[in-house]
Amino acid sequence: MQNGRARIVITGIGAVTPLGMDAESSWQSLIAGGHGAGPITNFDASQYLVHFACELKEFDPTEWMPRKMTRRMDRFAQMVVAAARQAEADSGLDIAKESARIGASVATGIGGLQSYQDCYDTLRERGPTRVNPFSIPAIIPNMGAAWVSMELGTKGPLTSQCTACAASNMAIGDGVDAIRLGRADVMLCGGTEASVTEIGIAGFSAMRALSRRNEAPEKASRPFDAGRDGFVMGEAAAILVLEELEHARARGAKIYGEVVGYGISSDAAHITEPDPTGENPARAMTMAMKDAGITPEDIGYINAHGTSTPLGDASETRVIKLALGDERAREIPVSSTKGATGHTLGASGAVEAIFTTFAIQRGIVPPTINYEEPDPECDLDYIPNDAREVEDLRFGMSNSFGFGGHNASIVIARWDE
């Protein structure tokens, strides 16, 4: 116990991302300056305004589940089951032994978008009696969490967050709260998204949210750069095993880091644009620091939401200054790993929580790739293009801000016995 409450440590990690089919290979590609962008292969995008994305080109769901089962699941659920199985194996947990005290908190921003499209196409082309009976269970957003619970056998708290791009940061926060409140000893927390679909690309293109650098996909995601023109759609799934410290110690678990702070707020401003004052997302950051019992001087790295949109990146720069003070904000290394992964929407917070954990654990902060031309409105230290070693890196913060004004920040601490 610390300050009268349970301490929550990270004891397992799993991920499938555009950079690799596990967390370690994704990290190694990230710090080497890699990227996952390329022409879309999930469907023929030649007639679309945007022809590229950050896909999971090497993902094969049958490596993680029987082929028959994959036919009942949308891709977003298949991906998170793979990430959860990786995290379970990495943690060394015996879930069957204490399933009632192990839960899952798994987020998504949209859910089964491909299954929704397939259902609609069948309805229009073949009629209502030919719709797949598994369509609704494949579409609904909670089924990522549900499949994780069913496949791994967790019987503790089971929640699913659908708060746009802040969703998986909130899933982590909800998992922390469940353990602190004594409802579970272990929570599998994270998010998943598979929105590189016809509807996804067409819809986000229509609202001019996506970069249109079709001639150079590898340069399209350029957070905080003056030439940024929108985000690159990505797909990913990531799971962190959060565990009460004494429970982890009792079974001799390895520990990656400690989740020490969580803050949330809402903008109440606009359906897509960020809060023009910056006060509300800044409040999520200050809340997370207060929860962690630290000050801005303790923060050694910020993994920014940094989507590569003109409004969003400038706004987050202001937000960081509001939360940490202008002078301190300029001293802290800040990077957006979405330059490499694209924007994985509801999965982004969990992917970036893993990257933040590795950064704190290993003393190296990942770069913001494609940063070429400074923007006067974005004037912090964005770790341009090359990873950087940082001494005595003790606390890292990860931000996630979503459409509709959802804001969430978490603080992760270096583990030191």
CATH of the domain at 404: 3.40.47.10
Let me know if residue 211 belongs to a domain: yes
Let me know if residue 86 belongs to a domain: yes
Q: 91 and 13: one domain?
A: yes
Question: Looking at the 3D structure of the chain, how many domains does it have?
Answer: 2
Residue 39: what pLDDT?
Answer: 98
Domain-terminating residue out of 200, 224, 250: 250
Residue type, 337: T
Q: 410 and 286: one domain?
A: yes
By the 10 Å C-beta count (0-12 exposed, 13-18 middle, 19+ buried), 76 is classed as buried
Residue 324 structure tokens: 């940490």
Q: 185 and 119: one domain?
A: yes
Residues with Cβ < 8 Å from 176, sequence gap 6 or more?
A: 8, 187, 242, 259, 262
Let me know if residue 1 belongs to a domain: no
Q: 209 and 141: one domain?
A: yes
pLDDT digits (tens, 9 = 90+) for 320-363: 999 999 999 999 999 999 999 999 999 999 999 999 999 999 99
Let me know if residue 256 belongs to a domain: no
Let me know if residue 372 belongs to a domain: yes
Catalytic residue among 247, 305, 378, 406: 305
Closest CA relative to residue 108, chosen from 138, 72, 153, 68: 138
Q: Is the pLDDT of residue 1 over 60?
A: no
Catalytic residue among 35, 51, 343, 406: 343
Q: 139 and 205: one domain?
A: yes
Q: 157 and 90: one domain?
A: yes
Q: Is the pLDDT of residue 82 over 70?
A: yes
Q: 344 and 269: one domain?
A: yes
Q: 353 and 233: one domain?
A: no
Catalytic residue status for 406: no
pLDDT digits (tens, 9 = 90+) for 223-248: 999 999 999 999 999 999 999 999 99
Catalytic residue among 54, 119, 165, 378: 165
- What percent of the chain stands above pLDDT 90? 97
pLDDT digits (tens, 9 = 90+) for 116-156: 999 999 999 999 999 999 999 999 999 999 999 999 999 99
Parent domain of 199: 8-250
| 257-266 and 186-193 beta bridge pairing | unpaired
pLDDT band at 2 (very low <50, low <70, confident <90, very high): low
Residues with Cβ < 8 Å from 390, sequence gap 6 or more?
A: 300, 301, 333, 363, 364, 365
Residue 331: what pLDDT?
Answer: 97
Average pLDDT for the chain: 97
Torsion of CA 382, 388, 393, 395, to 10 degrees: 30
Residue 46: what pLDDT?
Answer: 95
Residue 175: what pLDDT?
Answer: 98
- Find out whether 77 and 191 touch, Cβ atoms under 8 Å: no
Q: 221 and 132: one domain?
A: yes
Q: 233 and 308: one domain?
A: no
Q: What are phi and psi of 99, to 5 degrees?
A: -60, -30
Closest CA relative to residue 394, chosen from 380, 410, 415: 415
Q: Is the pLDDT of residue 4 over 90?
A: no
- Find out whether 367 and 396 touch, Cβ atoms under 8 Å: no
Residue 272: what pLDDT?
Answer: 87
Let me know if residue 109 belongs to a domain: yes
Residue 416: what pLDDT?
Answer: 85
Torsion of CA 312, 313, 314, 318, to 10 degrees: 100
Q: 303 and 374: one domain?
A: yes
What helix, strand, coil percent values describe the chain, rounded to 5?
40, 25, 35
pLDDT digits (tens, 9 = 90+) for 167-207: 999 999 999 999 999 999 999 999 999 999 999 999 999 99
pLDDT band at 315 (very low <50, low <70, confident <90, very high): very high
Domain-terminating residue out of 208, 228, 250: 250
Which of the two residues, 417 and 278, has the higher pLDDT score?
278
Helix residue spans in 160-262 (DSSP H)? 167-180, 198-206, 245-250
pLDDT digits (tens, 9 = 90+) for 375-409: 999 999 999 999 999 999 999 999 999 999 999 99
Catalytic residue status for 165: yes
pLDDT digits (tens, 9 = 90+) for 47-67: 999 999 999 999 999 999 999
Let me know if residue 177 belongs to a domain: yes
Distance (Å, rounded) from C-alpha 345 to C-alpha 172?
15
- Find out whether 343 and 374 touch, Cβ atoms under 8 Å: no
The residue assigned the tokens 């192990």 is 102
Distance (Å, rounded) from C-alpha 192 to C-alpha 107?
6
Global pTM value: 0.97
Q: 322 and 190: one domain?
A: no
Catalytic residue status for 119: no
3-state secondary structure of 13: strand
Let me know if residue 20 belongs to a domain: yes
